[in-house]
């Protein structure tokens, strides 16, 4: 429930008044300002401490809350009385007592709660929540593998529930789903993915009782065609996902007597027992169909493609992992629908002739995925770029036969491009210079592209100011000059991967520290960086959430201390093989948002230092450690951490050091003199 703003009473100010000038603003104006700050938690915090009236207004204006730990909730109950959306996905431990307090505090306002990463609550806590918070319309209980039919009966108390996710709730059966079907008649969206004990009976009960269902995910359920007749009778159904339902086959689908005229999206991925015959029976009469996903299914033949000819509103076809035939391509080219998206990732049989023929018939294509289509060459890119000039997304990772000259065509002809994945390709600087003409480019992936250098990156930096994601993984000709050009020209940069580039030094990190929006930084295996560069990142990139420093041997405690002081948003860090000791790790433990740590082969780490860091880092949900530490940590510490929702992943791998710049070989030992 959005806080209803009221006007603050204020007195008029004389020119000599010493009163707070902000008091002249009405509460409506202050709320409008807050509406524009909702994506920036630091801005909201700064705003709320400006003065007492702003603090008061912000506390009542806030409608959503995402606490780092469940134990922080008591501090929020009185300050934020109008919370309607509560996201507890960062809280691994949420018990019944917590749910009881939540249900009494936000009894009249709570409309949505996310418990998808939480454990330790039972059906009793859920019952309290759903009985007291009668206004709940959205609940996410994904990954709650401990919940049984008793929990499902508690969910049934939520009479106004519209959206429910039970993905991977593997103990809930048809009986529990039946309770939900009877109690939650207003359901519009239901996800039962991987609910392995739910079969035809449970799905049929949902279809019979919940007539308002619009989105239904039945992925990997042991269902057959028996429940589909009831499902297809749902008059409002728009999205149906039956991915990996191996009990559904052509014979069963041929018996269907019902069609779903409202269906807009159908996902039949991984249904190897369904061919064009079954597909035709399933989609017969679905006049509104806009997207169909048939990934990793039967071969794409002319018969299958012809099944789609009558659907004039079809816009997206995804055939990832399928075998493509020439007859199938010809039939798809005859589709009269305004196709905007085609996906052929990892498709066998897709050739130049087929792809060229197809794109000439679908000139208004916006998105094309030809990842790992290893038979296409310059000819295909020529046809794509000349026919589909409105492309916004082109994914072509590992198209190894496409020559460097083809990438020049992309920049010359596809000026609207926003995303390009050219990972593991022959693109060079001339190609990059051409692609830099795409001024709207926001995602550029150039991993394992050994032909690009600083010269091409400089052009991208000067022309693509909207760039947000850049992947240069193992693009080994790139050095500090190229990264500096990107940092100077792309102030909106949020993610960059420069892992395993031996020409990268602290100069690159100092340049990137000027990118204040940077959230993800991967510098794994960059031997030229040190704590100096990491310190600059910590000071300049306050939004940083993910940091990968694996095998950066020159990074030590001196880099950890600035991270602990300035990187308050850091959630995930990989320190494996770094020169960090107990001191640095304990310092990092002060970060209140840190959830995920990988700390393998830290030579300076002791059992006592590790124990101190684990106990101090209260938000941890996942830690990856070498198995040698397991017997050295007391069972009481491990038990305490696990009881608070932390999961340990123990690895028993010998020390490995990658030396080959292309990464194809592994060498053992830690002698720095071996580095080429």
Quick: pLDDT tens for 66-103. Answer: 988 888 888 888 888 999 999 999 888 999 999 999 99
The pLDDT, as a whole number, for residue 2 is 41
37 located within any domain? yes
Helix axes 531-540, 557-566, angle to 10 degrees: 0
Query: What are the residues whose beta carbons fall under 8 Å from the beta carbon of 138, sequence distance 6 or more?
Result: 111, 112, 113, 161, 162, 163, 164
Q: How many domains does the chain have?
A: 2
294 located within any domain? no
Question: In this structure, what token pair is assigned to residue 305?
Answer: 């493609």
521 located within any domain? yes
Last residue of a domain, one of 16, 36, 60: 60
The pLDDT, as a whole number, for residue 56 is 72
- Containing structural domain, residue 50: 27-60
User: What's the CA gap between 443 and 492, in Å, rounded?
Assistant: 11
479 located within any domain? no
The answer to whether residues 228 and 248 touch, using CB atoms and an 8 Å cutoff, is yes
Helix axes 174-183, 200-209, angle to 10 degrees: 0
Residues 628, 629, 634: CA angle, nearest 5 degrees: 135
The answer to whether residues 98 and 76 touch, using CB atoms and an 8 Å cutoff, is no
User: What's the CA gap between 308 and 303, in Å, rounded?
Assistant: 9
400 alpha carbon, distance to own chain's centre: 28
Residue 498 sits in a domain whose CATH number is 3.80.10.10
The stretches in the chain having pLDDT less than 70 are 1-25, 27, 30-31, 34-35, 37-42, 44-51, 53, 657-676
571 located within any domain? yes
State pLDDT tens for residues 385-422. Answer: 999 999 999 999 999 999 999 999 999 999 999 999 99
Strands 666-667, 657-658: pairing is: antiparallel
User: What's the CA gap between 525 and 548, in Å, rounded?
Assistant: 9
User: What's the CA gap between 659 and 676, in Å, rounded?
Assistant: 8
The pLDDT, as a whole number, for residue 62 is 81
Query: What are the residues whose beta carbons fall under 8 Å from the beta carbon of 667, sequence distance 6 or more?
Result: 656, 657, 658, 659, 660, 674
587 located within any domain? yes
Closest by CA to 177, choosing from 209, 211, 158, 152, is 152
237 located within any domain? no
Residues 531, 536, 539: CA angle, nearest 5 degrees: 120
Question: In this structure, what token pair is assigned to residue 431?
Answer: 């190609």
User: What's the CA gap between 450 and 458, in Å, rounded?
Assistant: 16
The answer to whether residues 403 and 376 touch, using CB atoms and an 8 Å cutoff, is no
The pLDDT, as a whole number, for residue 10 is 41
User: What's the CA gap between 125 and 95, in Å, rounded?
Assistant: 7
267 located within any domain? no
The pLDDT, as a whole number, for residue 74 is 85
Continuous segment of H or E residues that includes residue 420 = strand 419-421
The pLDDT, as a whole number, for residue 412 is 97
What is the per-residue burial (b if ≥16 Cβ within 10 Å, else e) of 215-242? bbbbbbbebbbbbbebbbebeebbbbbb
Whole-angstrom CA distances from 94 to 89, 108, 141, 145, 586 are: 10, 21, 12, 14, 26
The pLDDT, as a whole number, for residue 350 is 96
The pLDDT, as a whole number, for residue 76 is 85
């Amino acid at each position: 429930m959005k806080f209803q703003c009221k006007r603050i009473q204020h007195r008029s100010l004389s020119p000599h008044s010493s009163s707070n000038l902000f008091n002249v603003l009405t509460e409506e104006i202050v709320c409008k300002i807050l509406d524009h700050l909702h994506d920036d938690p630091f801005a909201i915090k700064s705003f709320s401490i400006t003065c007492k009236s702003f603090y008061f207004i912000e506390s009542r204006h806030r409608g959503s809350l995402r606490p780092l730990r469940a134990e922080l909730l008591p501090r929020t109950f009185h300050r934020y009385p109008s919370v309607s959306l509560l996201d507890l996905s960062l809280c691994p431990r949420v018990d019944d007592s917590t749910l009881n307090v939540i249900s009494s505090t936000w009894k009249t306002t709570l409309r949505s709660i996310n418990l998808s990463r939480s454990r330790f609550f039972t059906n009793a806590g859920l019952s309290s929540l759903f009985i007291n918070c009668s206004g709940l319309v959205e609940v996410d209980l994904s990954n709650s593998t401990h919940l049984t039919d008793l929990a499902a009966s508690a969910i049934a108390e939520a009479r106004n529930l519209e959206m429910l996710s039970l993905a991977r709730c593997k103990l809930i059966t048809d009986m529990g789903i039946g309770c939900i079907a009877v109690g939650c008649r207003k359901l519009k969206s239901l996800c039962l993915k991987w609910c392995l004990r739910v079969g035809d009976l449970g799905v049929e009960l949902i279809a019979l009782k919940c007539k308002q269902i619009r989105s239904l995910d039945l992925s990997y359920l042991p269902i057959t065609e028996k429940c589909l007749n009831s499902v297809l009778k749902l008059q409002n159904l728009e999205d149906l996902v039956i991915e990996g339902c191996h009990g559904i086959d052509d014979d069963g689908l041929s018996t269907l007597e019902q069609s779903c005229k409202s269906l807009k999206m159908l996902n039949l991925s991984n249904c190897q027992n369904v061919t064009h015959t079954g597909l035709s029976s399933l989609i017969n009469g679905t006049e509104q169909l806009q997207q169909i996903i048939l990934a990793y299914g039967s071969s794409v033949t002319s018969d299958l493609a012809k099944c789609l000819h009558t659907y004039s509103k079809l816009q997206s076809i995804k055939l990832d992992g399928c075998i493509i035939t020439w007859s199938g391509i010809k039939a798809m080219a005859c589709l009269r629908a305004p196709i905007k998206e085609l996906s052929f990732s990892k498709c066998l049989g897709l050739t130049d002739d087929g792809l060229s023929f197809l794109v000439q018939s679908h000139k208004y294509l916006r998105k094309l995925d030809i990842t790992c289509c290893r038979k296409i060459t310059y000819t295909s890119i020529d046809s794509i770029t000349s026919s589909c000039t409105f492309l916004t997304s082109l994914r072509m990772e590992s198209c190894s036969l496409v020559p460097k000259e083809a990438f020049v065509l992309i920049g010359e002809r596809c000026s609207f491009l926003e995303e390009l994945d050219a990972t593991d390709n022959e693109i060079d600087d001339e190609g990059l210079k051409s692609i830099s003409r795409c001024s709207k480019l926001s995602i550029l992936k150039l991993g394992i592209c050994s032909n690009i250098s600083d010269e091409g990156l400089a052009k991208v930096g000067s022309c693509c100011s909207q760039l947000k994601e850049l992947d240069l993984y193992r693009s080994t000709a790139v050095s500090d000059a190229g990264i500096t050009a990107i940092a100077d020209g792309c102030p909106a940069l949020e993610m960059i991967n420069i892992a395993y580039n031996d020409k990268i030094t602290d100069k690159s990190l100092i340049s990137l520290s000027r990118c204040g929006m940077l959230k993800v930084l991967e510098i794994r295996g960059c031997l030229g960086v040190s704590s100096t560069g990491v310190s600059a990142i910590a000071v300049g990139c306050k939004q940083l959430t993910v940091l990968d420093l694996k095998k950066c041997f020159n990074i030590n405690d001196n880099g950890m201390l600035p991270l602990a002081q300035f990187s308050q948003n850091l959630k995930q860090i990989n320190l494996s093989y770094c020169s960090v000791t107990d001191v640095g790790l304990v310092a990092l433990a002060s970060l209140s948002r840190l959830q995920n740590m990988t700390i393998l082969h830290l030579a300076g780490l002791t059992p006592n230092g590790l124990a101190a860091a684990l106990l101090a880092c209260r938000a941890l949900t996942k830690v990856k450690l070498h198995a040698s530490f397991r017997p050295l940590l007391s069972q009481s510490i491990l038990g305490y951490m696990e009881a608070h929702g932390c999961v340990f992943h123990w690895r028993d791998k010998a020390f490995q050091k990658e030396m080959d710049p292309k990464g194809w070989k592994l060498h053992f030992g830690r002698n720095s003199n071996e580095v080429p």
